[in-house]
Chain A
Amino acid sequence: DAGVTQSPTHLIKTRGQHVTLRCSPISGHKSVSWYQQVLGQGPQFIFQYYEKEERGRGNFPDRFSARQFPNYSSELNVNALLLGDSALYLCASSPRTGSSYEQYFGPGTRLTVT
């Protein structure tokens, strides 16, 4: 079975630009979450989507947005990139939302902002 897939693997952007990251969940999973992992730290929660609706939002500025499509794939958009946005962006999927459901992570997208 295919796991969570993310694209692209690596990305280099310039300050002020916009970026779109993509995630495909495990087949049958309806919930997708996004996390930012800065080098040397644990992942920080950005968003969770379930059945195409936002179910949770972390402490990130409005430059960060996301959406989930009818096939349950998801996009994370970041506008007006800052140097501090350089990080590994992780997508996780779970069958549903709730504490009983473990989240399965993809390999991540490494974003470098110069």
Chain B
Amino acid sequence: AQSVTQLDSHVSVSEGTPVLLRCNYSSSYSPSLFWYVQHPNKGLQLLLKYTSAATLVKGINGFEAEFKKSETSFHLTKPSAHMSDAAEYFCSIYNQGGKLIFGQGTELSVKP
């Protein structure tokens, strides 16, 4: 069965410092993985996706993620946090039948 686990429910960083949001996956075949961001009272915005091409994936707003098969991980990073990055972040994996399976989310706080 496909699943994702987000290892931190809440991450707090200072503005200008690096961001690391952790996601582990479980999959019986080569997965398609996604990171989405959700600002308060908004829908989800796609940050980036991995679909078995390059293992280092670059997304919007300076975010990137690295697919590591040996560690079954797909962690999201950003070199320097901005106040506008404060939001909820969801890791997801594609399952058959058009289904995205989401993690529980990581709330990112950015301190000035």
Which of A13-21, A66-74, A76-84, A94-102 participates in binding chain B? Answer: A94-102
A100–B32 CB distance below 8 A: yes
- In the complex, the number of residue pairs spanning A and B with C-beta atoms less than 8 Å apart equals 66
A42–B105 CB distance below 8 A: yes
Assembled-state Cα–Cα distance A97/B51 (Å): 14
A100–B51 CB distance below 8 A: yes
User: Which one of B41, B92, B104 lies within 8 Å of A41 (CB-CB)?
Assistant: B104
Please, what's the 1-or-0 string for B18-43, where 1 marks a CB less than 8 Å from any CB in chain A? 00000000000000101010000111
- When distances are taken between beta carbons in the complex, the residues of chain B under 8 Å from A99 are 32, 51, 94
A25 proximal to B (CB < 8 A) = no
A105–B44 CB distance below 8 A: yes
**Would you give the shortest CB distance from A20 to chain B, in whole angstroms?**
19
User: Which one of B49, B90, B98, B104 lies within 8 Å of A31 (CB-CB)?
Assistant: B98
Nearest chain B residue, comparing its CB with the CB of A47: B98
Interface residues in A, total, Cβ within 8 A: 31
Assembled-state Cα–Cα distance A9/B90 (Å): 22
Assembled-state Cα–Cα distance A102/B98 (Å): 10
B102 proximal to A (CB < 8 A) = yes
Assembled-state Cα–Cα distance A48/B98 (Å): 6
Nearest chain A residue, comparing its CB with the CB of B97: A56
B43–A108 CB distance below 8 A: yes
Tell me the chain B residues, 31-86 only, with Cβ under 8 Å from chain A.
32, 34, 36, 41-46, 49, 51
B32–A55 CB distance below 8 A: no
Given contacts A90-B43, A102-B34, 5 further A-B pairs with CB under 8 A are: A31-B98, A42-B90, A45-B99, A45-B101, A105-B46
